[in-house]
Structure 1
Amino acid sequence: MHLNQVTLTVNNMTKACEFYLTLGFTQIVNTAHSARFMCPDGEASFSLTLDELQLNMSDNRTVIYFEHEQLDEWVNQLIKKGIEFETLPTDQDYLWREARLFDPAGNKIKLYWAGENRLNPPWRVTIRDN
């Protein structure tokens, strides 16, 4: 089984597409109400859907994570391109290094590097359905 995609709601498709293109994603769908992007590595993708009526995105609790081995370099490149961060790369107690930012619609984004700890943290459990 594969996770196909995640869809984020935005209230300005043009601004949102420009933002995700600046982050380095490849746009593969472009309509007035929908956009889809591929990640630079692997086959993962995500979509944007337009909801112009949702002017206040502050109630949005969605968080999308993008992993990159050279996190600090990536963040520095994005800062040079004008991307603003809420927090710069910081080591977390759950063994990930992450930076936090928001897209133009207020969707929370975490850029991170977890390495082996992403799927195999020291506290990993195995639960089997019998």
Structure 2
Amino acid sequence: ITQSYVLAKLIDALVGLRTDFRGLKLEMIPVPSEALLRLTPVVPKFAELDVSMANLTDESLVILANILTFRSSKLERLSIRGNHFGKAGLVALCVSLHHVRSLRSLDLSSNALGDE
């Protein structure tokens, strides 16, 4: 059984839950963009999402940024430290933060953002 198979099954289970889930920690588990897309219905219900060191890319951050703009978003803490996104992903995230009211903590540490 591969890690991506287990992640897919976890996502299926989360999407099917009828109760609110407080958060999801996927630290050090590679989360492809397709997996984030499949999580779109449930992420706005979370108070916390940790996708640190999850190999997130610019495409992944654009997806996360779109999720953050949902009016129903309850996300208070987001950790995206130690990933592989660049300027495009960061710009998308920054634009979405203007619309987020619930976010209280954002961890961007250990990303190779540079001075671009």
Give the alignment's TM-score, normalised by structure 2.
Answer: 0.27
Taking structure 1 as the reference length, the TM-score comes to 0.25
Structure with greater proportional strand content: 1
* The structure with more helix, counted as a fraction of residues: 2
Query: Which has the greater radius of gyration?
Result: 1
